[in-house]
Amino acid sequence: MQLKSVNLFNFVAMEILDGKLVAQSVKQGLKAQTQQLIAAGKRAPHLVAILVGSDGASETYVASKIKNCEEIGYKSSLVRLETIVEETELMKIIEQFNNDDAVDGILVQLPLPKHIDEQKIINLINPSKDVDGFSPVSVGRMVLGMPSFIPATPYGIMLMLEYYKIPTSGKRAVVIGRSNIVGRPMSILLSQANSYGNCTVTVCHSRSENIESICLDADIIVVALGIPGFLKSSMVKAGAVVIDVGITRVADTTKKSGFAIKGDVDFDNVSPKCSHISPVPGGVGLMTIAALLKNTFNAYQQRNLS
C-alpha cells in the first residue's frame, strides 16, 4: 500500500508507512532462508512462547507470533500456564528450554502476574536465546553498539525507517515513553552512530514538561505511551515523520470482537501534516512480529555456528 495524499495548506506529500508491506518483505526473506535450511537437511529455527494467564491482548499477540512462525516454516511451541503458577515452576520450565539444544528462542509474554518477579524471569533466559532482547546482557550489548538481540518493536521501527529510506542523520527525534520494551531502546538506537541512527534524541515521559513544544521541534516522533489519540496535530510540525506504537483496545460495539485498536496518534488530524506516518492497525504491530522472527533466525544461526 503506497498511499499518498497532498495537503493543500502546507503542500506536504504524506506517505503511509505500511507495516504489512514491510513485514511481508522481511518474512519472505526469512521464509526463503528457512526453506534453504530444510533443503540442506537441517532443522528449522524453533521459537518457544510462554504465556502465563489469559489476558486478552497477550493471547492475541502470542497467537499471532505462533501463526507467523508457522507461515514462514519455523517450528514453534506455545506453553500456556495458569495465572496462579508459582514463580519457581515458571523458572524450572525456562531452565528446561535453556538446556534444550533444539530450542533457539524463548519469549515470556509480558506482563506477568504480580506475584512473579518479571526481571528475575527475564534474567533467567539464556542470553543466546533471548529473542526479545530484554535481558541485561542483550540490553548491555545493544547500548555498547555490539551485535545483540534488539527488542522487537524498536527493531521493527528501525527496519521500517530503513525500508522507506527515511533520513535520520542529524535529525531531531522525540521518543515519547521510556519503557524498557520500546521507548528506552528506541531512544538508544536512534542516537547511535549507525545507519538510521545519528539523531539528536529527546525522551519525553509522564514527568516531562512542555511536551508540545518539544514535539513541535521534532523531525521524527515515536509515540509509545498507550494513551489513544495523545499526539495532536498542534504538537507536530509540517513534514514530520510520525511513528505510532500505541495499540490500546477501546470498546466498540460496531466490531464483532467488541473492541477497536487505537493508536497514540490522532491520525485523522495529524496525518495531513506529516511526510510519513505509521497507521494503527497496519503499522508498527506487524513490524514487531517480523523483527521477532528475524531475531529468532539470528539466534538459530549463532547457536549453530558455535
Applying CB under 6 A, which residues contact ligand GUN?
107-110, 132, 152-153, 181, 288
| Catalytic entry in 18, 104, 130, 132 | 132
The x, y and z cell numbers of residue 267, run together, are 491520525
For residue 93, the surrounding DSSP H or E stretch is: helix 87-98
| Nearest approach, Cβ of residue 58 and ligand GUN (Å) | 7
Q: What is the dihedral angle through the alpha carbons of 25, 154, 186, 268, rounded to the nearest 10 degrees?
A: 80
| Nearest approach, Cβ of residue 261 and ligand GUN (Å) | 14
Nearer to ligand GUN by C-beta: 151 or 272?
151
Q: How many CA atoms lie within 13 A of 183 on its CB side?
A: 16
Nearer to ligand GUN by C-beta: 58 or 200?
58
The x, y and z cell numbers of residue 186, run together, are 528506541
| Catalytic entry in 18, 109, 192, 294 | 109
C-alpha 306/C-alpha 297 separation (Å) is 15
Let me know if 109 is a catalytic residue.
Answer: yes
Expressed in percent and rounded to 5, the helix, strand and coil fractions of the chain are 40, 20, 40
Let me know if 117 is a catalytic residue.
Answer: no
Nearer to ligand GUN by C-beta: 273 or 294?
294
| Nearest approach, Cβ of residue 88 and ligand GUN (Å) | 20
Q: What is the DSSP letter of 83?
A: T
The x, y and z cell numbers of residue 72, run together, are 514462514
Return the beta strands (E) in 70-112 as ranges. Answer: 75-81, 105-108
- The packing angle between helices 152-163 and 183-191, to 10°, is 40
For residue 302, the surrounding DSSP H or E stretch is: helix 284-305
In single-letter form, the type of residue at position 303 comes to R
- Give me the residue whose beta carbon is nearest to ligand GUN: 110
Q: Among all chains, which residue has been given the C-alpha cell 510462554? A: 50
129 near 107, Cβ under 8 Å?
Answer: no
Let me know if 119 is a catalytic residue.
Answer: no
Nearer to ligand GUN by C-beta: 109 or 126?
109
Nearer to ligand GUN by C-beta: 64 or 200?
64
| Nearest approach, Cβ of residue 158 and ligand GUN (Å) | 14
C-alpha 119/C-alpha 49 separation (Å) is 17
Q: What is the DSSP letter of 174?
A: E
The x, y and z cell numbers of residue 270, run together, are 495529524
| Catalytic entry in 27, 65, 262, 294 | 65
Nearer to ligand GUN by C-beta: 179 or 198?
179
Residues involved in catalysis: 65, 109, 132
